[in-house]
Chains A and B, each alone.
Chain A
Amino acid sequence: MPRSVTYDIVHETKYTYSEPVAVCLNQLRMRPQTRSPSVVCNQCTVTIEPVPAKVDTHPDYFGNVVDSFAIESHHESLVVKVASQVQVNAINPFESPNIPTVAEVVHAIRTGQTEADLFAKEYVFASPRIPLAGHFAEYAKTIVNEGSSILDAVLQLTKHIHDDFRYDSTATDVSTTTQSAFELKAGVCQDFSHVQIACLRSLGLPARYVSGYLRTLPPPGKPRLIGNDESHAWISVYAGEALGWIDFDPTNACQIGVDHIPVCVGRDYDDISPMRGIVLGGGHTTLAVKVDVAPVELPTEVGPPA
């Protein structure tokens, strides 16, 4: 595994309206943030077409950067293009000397041992999209052993959810609740992540939702297809003050390495939906999204011949 990869990412969202839109107001949560030491955002540019009079940015409660803009003249399409360069550094928390057990983290949170523990506690409670119900805990308890290391335990849970749940983009939609995704045992990354967060919180472990991108590798011998990547979501768990927040991907049954590029964190999807807006008029709306995640330093297999 390379120690560090830098990516050029282009995320283009295009709305086309059947009828003109008189006014729209929008908020974007699409700017990758530096989260040292694992993520460094070198640059990020947001381009909007038609050009709004003004774009404001402000940090939200979770430290994400929000772009707000309005377009107040008639328009029939809206294009938002976010181009960023992000460096992802490999960190392997499993190599850390003192990994706490699940029980130790739960205790630290319950008692608010340190200030970091106290503020991590915010993420053990129910959030708008993620209720805490008994059966999440029941499910999680069959997998997670209180005495084992927090990282091993969460990785176990990540793998179990991957195995027990079916990836199916037709099974759920925008508004599917965590509850029904859990009952269906199916869904997309958003559902997988919500379910895992619900399980972790039910055990007393703080967990957050992470939005971002996943680099996709082309089939062997084929060129990388531009614009064929997708945005993605996974989870982050609090592993005690020393380790902090560690990310896992239930959709791909793994701990996060250099292939994942995080953008925003929040309690659940509702806190960080990449784009939300209200339009006046517009009729029927068609949406087209293109994501391109291109490594700046090419992967090792095209490096100099051995």
Chain B
Amino acid sequence: MLLPTQIESKVNVPTPTATAHSNDLPSGSPPGLSLADYASMAERFDECRLPDGALRPCWKSIANEVTSLGKSGLNDRESQIEQLIRENGSTFQIDTGEGTQTRPWQLATVPIAIAEQDWNRLATGLAQRTRVLEAILADLLGPQRLIRERVLPPELLWDNPRFLRVYHNLPVSAGHRLHLVGFDVARASDGAWWVTGDRTRAPSGLGYLLENRIVHGRIFPHLSRTANVRRLASFFGSMRRHFRTLAPRQKDNPRVALLTPGHGSYRDFEDAYLARYLGYTLVQGRDLAVRGERLHLKTLGGLLPIEVLWRHVSDRKCDPLELDPHSTEGVTGLLRCKRGGELAVVNSIGTAIAEMPALIPFLPAAAKLLLGETLQLPSVATYWCGAEKERQYVLEHLDELVLRDAFAVSDTRPVMPVRCTAEEKDALVRRIKAQPNRFVGQHRLSHSVTPVWHGERFEPWHVSLRTFVLQTKNNIEVLPGALARVSPKEDLLSNSPTQGQLTQDCWIVSDKPVDHETTLLSNDDHTIVLRRSGAELPSRVAEHLFWLGRYVERCESIARLLRTTLARLVGEDELNDLPEMTRLVAALAAVGQLEPDYAIEGLDGAMPQLDSVLPSSVFDTANPRALQNSVASALHNATAVRDRISLDAYRIFQSIHADISGSRRPTTVNVSRAMERLNRLITHLMAFSGLTAESLTRTHGWRFVLLGRRLERADQTAELLLATMVRPVADEVGLCESILDATDSLMTYRSRYLSLVRPAPAIDLMVTDETNPRSLRFQLNDIQQLLSDLPTEPGRVALGADERLARELQHPLLIADVGTLTEVNASGNRVELQRLLELVQAKIPQLANAIAGRYLIHTAPEQTLTGDREQSLDESLMPPEATQR
């Protein structure tokens, strides 16, 4: 076997002297900031400046902008970008070594510019490389000439645990397996492009790239229009058209679903973003079912067929029946749909094997054999340790190399022996010698540098580009742009893009004006059949919306009660003179905001502590029932359905979360600070209610949000009244006012009864008044209506369990009489009121379960059926049986 020849030639470019050069900067520009002043780096290609120090022409517009903005202007843009990204909720997961963490996405202030002629050379090479990898896949998953003719060592397939034999000979959509691929490229010191990695499974980064462009378009609106920057929109347009043509039927408007691995994956943000942008249905494995050899989306209204599946799930996790039986990310029967030609999967299952680093040294020979072509783009020098000479080379040059898994790019981090201790290195050498086939050594490539605004000056940071290529039936299109990753430390760029470096928008700058074709956020040319249905709500989404409604309501009612109580603490009266205080404290204890001890009557000494205890309970993070926890849960559910709610709605939750427990949590906690935050919280929540009422169509999604709210409000109100109104205090005026205030009914009361406060009208308003949206009767009427509007199985005549329970609750409220409810018996209790409230309290959880049982838990437990040994299969989610003896 030959040693790979693409060892990078080190071309030494003379270090430019860091002095000012004559640039075509606008005359009279402020003396201060110029891109030409940033210190370049020896022996690295500079993206921004020529070797003589002059600015590259494609940077002219950016340089002018930098000069006119100056330091303060750039700092200002930097913080605007941060804010926009925060508001969009763009995050990524980072592996900290102690589990993953979500961090805000980072975008550099100034983009990187690449001249179009330069880029076109790269693009031609990337298009060819796509065809080469396609041909390799077609061969390895088919006739295997590469092995027969001894171009590839057979170990690359046969000792490769990633090559599942099921991938072989699976049918192909549109004549090819690769549809969207990614390549990581870097520039050597002589300016030549090198490929450092191939991504043939489901390249990540496209969503972030898109967002970077949109954010920069907003920060530099003028610049991006006048700088002749190539547009991205037509690439996304082609992608959408191509996905549509893949559909085996319904080609005019097929349902395209983006299969995402699920919550907590590094794909979370990006997949939601892409799905929303492209108008695709975002699905997880448990949203899907195969019936009648077709793939379906499980919705409230039944099963809806999916024609094209864009999967961001690993190949081996796509179908637990035929691939990894432990996977819950895919769907049982997917491969059968594929074999039956009933579904297009992008990229085809099995394409992951073309991205193995061990393939890199053999690409030139494979291109020759399969296409009769010379590979245009060089790849980073890669030595597969399965071959003796290469292994020897790697072991002798460890410190110059990066060691990687030969067969996989994703889950293991590369090892840099030069950074290892002597023991670690010994262990590595032993591992290489024990399993040489599993390792490749790669040269550390030099990366070009680009100016990055950091710490109030431009610094030369190394850059690596993630590029994207779309292969359609007759064409290959390279996205004119890239996700650029920059780092002051060159070595960090050999990690994957999701490991947290700063990113840059990448501009391909033409020397003539570019077409103003479709703009990025515009829709497709396609006519859409008008629809009003909403039954295609995935059950999983309905569940999140339901809980979103519940948590929002819980936040609101807790916040109102806390605010009402705090308002009394800062009033003029002595606390002991306020008879309602004991009841309010009992109510707070009942909803978990205070230690139950405070609610025990007669402990007068407890009262004075309230002004320190209550404010800190607003920001408490330890108590699981604390306000902060409901806020976090609301945000969690909103995040899970981010593709279903408006950006405005999502921002509300981010903002609330930041106020109470996140970045804007106050440093000192006192009564006035707590009041201020509660006021803001309540205002925000009212804004969300407004959005729900005014911006959500009356589909099932809206019904589930509302159902959650109604159930929770009934529960919270019953809880509050039980703690306060059942055992009347001596003077009920203050108490009634407080409770009316906490249930947002005080205004209504005043408008009806002026300042005459009595228990009977108060109880009427909070319990039996069907016109008050805060009353118990209103909640149950609404719940009953919402439930009857949800889809039922065809042909069903009887009421569902949920509807029965709702009526069981609604009827006592309908016939309740205020007079009887207000009556106090001999032992000083309102027994009728108590009975009614306790009924509500007992039935609401049952009702919630019944709703969940009917609509939300759509997936009965699956079990693996295996062979012939008699066994209880409940415990056998494990590979097959022992049939034989």
Interface residues of A (CB under 8 A from B): 13, 15, 22-27, 53-54, 56, 58, 60-62, 68, 70, 72, 112, 115, 118-119, 121-122, 125-126, 128-129, 169, 172-175, 188-190, 211, 230-233, 251, 269-271, 273-282, 284-289
Enumerate 21 A-B pairs (CB-CB under 8 Å) in ascending A order. Answer: A26-B865, A27-B322, A53-B292, A72-B291, A118-B148, A125-B159, A128-B879, A189-B885, A211-B884, A233-B884, A251-B885, A270-B879, A271-B165, A273-B881, A273-B883, A276-B867, A278-B863, A280-B860, A281-B860, A285-B863, A287-B867
Main secondary structure of the interface of B (DSSP, over half): loop
The answer to whether B166 has its CB under 8 Å from any CB of chain A is: yes
Q: A25-B290, A190-B884, A273-B881 are in contact. Are A285 and B864 (CB under 8 A)?
A: no
- Bound Cα distance A58, B341 (Å): 13
- Bound Cα distance A70, B295 (Å): 13
Chain B interface size, under 10 / 10 to 19 / 20 to 34 / 35 or more: 35 or more
**Which residues of the other chain, B, contact A169 by a CB distance below 8 angstroms?**
885
The answer to whether B873 has its CB under 8 Å from any CB of chain A is: yes
**Which residues of the other chain, A, contact B865 by a CB distance below 8 angstroms?**
15, 24, 26, 275-279, 285
- Which A residue's beta carbon lies closest to that of B869? A174
**Which residues of the other chain, B, contact A60 by a CB distance below 8 angstroms?**
165-166
Q: Are A279 and B154 touching (Cβ within 8 A)?
A: no
The answer to whether B794 has its CB under 8 Å from any CB of chain A is: no
- Which A residue's beta carbon lies closest to that of B865? A277
Q: List 15 other contacts, CB 8 Å, given A211-B884, A276-B880.
A: A53-B292, A56-B340, A68-B339, A70-B290, A70-B291, A115-B148, A122-B154, A169-B885, A174-B882, A190-B883, A211-B883, A233-B884, A273-B866, A276-B321, A285-B865
Across the interface, B862 reaches (CB within 8 A) one of A128, A271, A280, namely: A280
**Min CB distance, A275 to chain B, in Å?**
6
- Bound Cα distance A58, B860 (Å): 30
Q: A70-B333, A125-B158 are in contact. Are A277 and B882 (CB under 8 A)?
A: no
Q: Are A68 and B882 touching (Cβ within 8 A)?
A: no
**Which residues of the other chain, B, contact A173 by a CB distance below 8 angstroms?**
869, 882
Q: Are B879 and A175 touching (Cβ within 8 A)?
A: yes
Q: Are B884 and A189 touching (Cβ within 8 A)?
A: yes
- Which B residue's beta carbon lies closest to that of A169? B885
**Which residues of the other chain, A, contact B862 by a CB distance below 8 angstroms?**
278-280
Q: Which of B826-885 contact A (CB under 8 A)?
A: 860-874, 876, 878-885
1/0 per residue B140-157: CB within 8 Å of A?
000000011010001101
**Which residues of the other chain, B, contact A61 by a CB distance below 8 angstroms?**
165-166, 168-169
**Min CB distance, A263 to chain B, in Å?**
10
Q: Which of B280-326 contact A (CB under 8 A)?
A: 289-293, 320-322, 325
**Min CB distance, B303 to chain A, in Å?**
11
Q: Are B870 and A188 touching (Cβ within 8 A)?
A: no
- Bound Cα distance A299, B205 (Å): 69
- Bound Cα distance A3, B772 (Å): 93
**Min CB distance, B676 to chain A, in Å?**
52
**Which residues of the other chain, B, contact A231 by a CB distance below 8 angstroms?**
868, 883-885
Q: Are A68 and B867 touching (Cβ within 8 A)?
A: no
Q: Are B154 and A112 touching (Cβ within 8 A)?
A: yes
Q: A23-B291, A279-B863 are in contact. Are A174 and B871 (CB under 8 A)?
A: yes
Residue of A174, A211, A279, A281 with most chain B CB atoms under a 10 A cut-off: A174
**Min CB distance, B324 to chain A, in Å?**
10
Across the interface, B150 reaches (CB within 8 A) one of A58, A112, A289, namely: A112
- Which A residue's beta carbon lies closest to that of B884? A233
The answer to whether B332 has its CB under 8 Å from any CB of chain A is: yes
Q: Are B333 and A188 touching (Cβ within 8 A)?
A: no
- Which A residue's beta carbon lies closest to that of B170? A58
Q: A211-B884, A230-B885 are in contact. Are A275 and B866 (CB under 8 A)?
A: yes
